[in-house]
Each structure stands twice: as structure tokens, then as C-alpha cells.
Amino acid sequence: MTSRVSSGRRGGCDELTPPAGRIKIGAKGFGGRKWGGLAMSEIAVIFPAAGKSSRFGDPKQKKIYAELDGRAVWLRAVEPFVNRDDVGQMILAIAPEDRELFERRYRASVAFMNIKVIDGGTQRSDTVAKALEVVDSRCEFIAVHDAARPCLCADLIDAVFDAARAHGAALLAVPVAETVKRVGTDRFTAETIPRQGLYLAQTPQVFRRDLLFKAYAQRSRVGHDVTDDCQLVEAIGHPCAVVDGSPLNIKITTRDDLKLAAALLPLLDQPRREGPAHPYSDEQHALWEKLPKLKPSDLFGS
């Protein structure tokens, strides 16, 4: 069961006036932002990125490493969260076999954005479960965002974060607009499914910490066919509030999706930066001098 919460920005990415006092890229987080007069709880964001990309159709690389207007898909998925004062921790879970490639290509970006990189699991839920093991104890809420969703707007993050604080669990979703057919194994239509009340789930999906931990502790009861985290939270009896998402917040699955994302990028409100987009773009910038000195074990935990 879900309840629906309107973001007031249905299907769009309208720009909100940002709160003052954004922290710098590379900062540790836990900055205590205030929104609407209330202190924001700290949020950990998990980015599952350990999939095989079997439907992407490129034998040379996985979809999250494909370039989208000069930057990897996973980087574009992470960037909207980097400068947020309410985000205290970011965890990227990659496939173990990708570690050498990842460290070679992205070590500087990981250090610059202060992301913790861990090995993911075989299934998506296994990957999130491993990330939960390293979530900072100070984070009261946990968001899960697909590393293959590179077209997310800041106002949608604001809306789903606020809904999670109000209801304990929330997700972005868009109503089904097309006619839905159930098709048999013979590729002939079997029935038409009424679309009233049907929504397509998106991410971020955001949960109170205790709810998500309880849901994952009991995930074996749901079985192996777990496709998102709300499914597990629903299984323990807690409804998830539905916040209006956007058709622009697409997930990269095929190479055609990558082309569509490239066309959508100019339509999005780009996040404001207080520093360079890449650590080597301006080595004399003050942010570069203030970056935390991290050991490899801090960045690439096992």
C-alpha cells in the first residue's frame, strides 16, 4: 500500500530557491542544514552499481561507465547529491571485478566527492545489504538511488527527502500513461490491465533508518525477486509515500536510453557548483587545497 504526495512540480524539474549555506565539495557532511525552520536529519545515499548491464548491448563496457556528455553515467547520477547539506554520506557499491578499472579511471573523482566505494553483491538487494553494513550511525535516513539514473533534478530530491521525513518512507514515481497489456509466452495479448492507480517506480527511494534495516533483516521472506527497496519495506507493513517524479528521470538500460539521456541533459536544471567540475580543471582553486587527506583504505573499503 502506498500514499501519494504531490511535489507541486508534476513531471518537471522546476528550480527551487536553494537554501543558503551549502557545504563545499569534498566536505565531510553532517552540516545541519535548516529547511522551513526545521533542522534536517542527516541522510546516507547508497548507489547500487554492481549490475552486469546485460541489456545494455555493449560488450566493451557497462552502462554506468559509458560517457554522457563527457562524464560517466554513474558520476552524473551522484553529482546532484554532492553539494547537499543534508547528505552526510555517499556509498557507491560496484562489482568486484570492476575494481581495478574503477580505481584507475575514477580515483581522483571519488576522493574529490568523498564517496565510499565498496564491493556489491550478485543481486541488487545483496548490493544494498552490503552498503547498509557501512552506513554511518549518525545518518537517520537512508536513500537508495540507481547509479544508472543520470537525469535527476535537485527539486525532486528535495521533495522525496521531505516526504520521507514526514512519512518514514517515500519514493519518486510517475503514473502509467500508456495502455498496459499482459502478453503470453506466445507473444499474443492475454488481457488489458486497467492503468488506474498504476505507477512506475523511480529512485531515489528514501527510508527511515530503522525501517530499512528491519526490511532487509526480513528480506528472505519476500524471496529472490526483489526489484526495489520499497518492495521490502511494504513487506513489513509500512506504506511508502509516492512523490510525483518526472519522465526525465530515466534509467539507462539500453544504448538507446543513453542517446535519450544525452538529449534530455540540456533540459535539466544543472546543479550549482562552488568549485570545478573535476579536480584537475583548476588545481589552484581553493577547494583543491582544502580537500581531506584520505588513505586508500578510506576510499576503497572491502
| pLDDT in the model for residue 83 | 86
| pLDDT in the model for residue 60 | 74
| pLDDT in the model for residue 3 | 60
Query: Per-residue b/e over 141-163, b at no fewer than 16 CB within 10 Å?
Result: bbbbbbbbbbbbbbbbbbbbbbb
Q: How far apart are the first and last CA of the chain?
A: 37
Alpha-carbon gap, residue 46 to 51, rounded angstroms: 14
Alpha-carbon gap, residue 120 to 239, rounded angstroms: 27
Considering only the top CATH level, what class is 2-16+25-293?
Answer: alpha beta
Alpha-carbon gap, residue 177 to 198, rounded angstroms: 9
| pLDDT in the model for residue 39 | 42
| pLDDT in the model for residue 28 | 43
| pLDDT in the model for residue 174 | 97
Map residue 116 onto helix, strand or coil.
strand
Beta partners for residue 208, in sequence order: 141
| pLDDT in the model for residue 255 | 87
Alpha-carbon gap, residue 82 to 111, rounded angstroms: 12
How far, CA to CA in Å, does 295 sit from each of 107, 110, 298? 11, 12, 5
Q: What is the DSSP letter of 121?
A: -
Per-10-residue mean pLDDT, the chain, length 302: 54 39 37 43 91 71 89 95 94 95 92 93 94 96 97 96 97 96 96 96 98 96 88 97 96 91 83 47 43 56 56
Instruction: Look up the pTM and report it.
Output: 0.78
| pLDDT in the model for residue 298 | 59
E strands, the chain, in order: 2-5, 34-35, 38-39, 43-49, 67-68, 71-72, 87-94, 116-119, 141-144, 169-175, 180-183, 189-193, 199-208, 240-244
Domain positions in the chain: 2-16+25-293
